[in-house]
Structure 1
């Protein structure tokens, strides 16, 4: 199967996702976060650095759960392009709809 090249919008969305997850993890251990989410530290590093612009939904759901992030707020932040919302909005909404 041939994978089509990512669009600039997909690359930018992946970079926003990675930056948001990195900020949400804060000073927490990358290793601990990755293991708690059931992903490899290398996978988490690639997502946080934006090198994996389109990670699988279950991977993001597991990481968001470990970080206490609302998937609704995470989705809204990652898909914004006008600067209307910020990472603090995701952190404030962490009590919202979490992955179980």
Structure 2
């Protein structure tokens, strides 16, 4: 008696989207496309450039060095840790991995 209930607009959209996915091949194709688009990018901070920035500012954080050199924060932090080991900079303050560095005299 009566037949099927009329679908709401949201249910109709969902069914149309699922039909499109079935036609295009589903989620596996999208995942493969994302994996193909990834490329390795290597960026190196020149230590001389970093020292020049630190000396001009008297102190610097990894975030600020990354912003001024145009690299990722992790790359800037690696550069600062390397300069710390060489003795070119020292920790002036900070906490919990967010250190403030200043050049040694």
TM > 0.5 = no
When normalised by structure 1's length, the TM-score is 0.25
Q: Which has the higher strand share?
A: 2
TM-score, length of structure 2 as denominator length? 0.24
- Choose between structure 1 and 2 for higher RCO, CA contacts under 8 A separated by at least 6 residues: 1
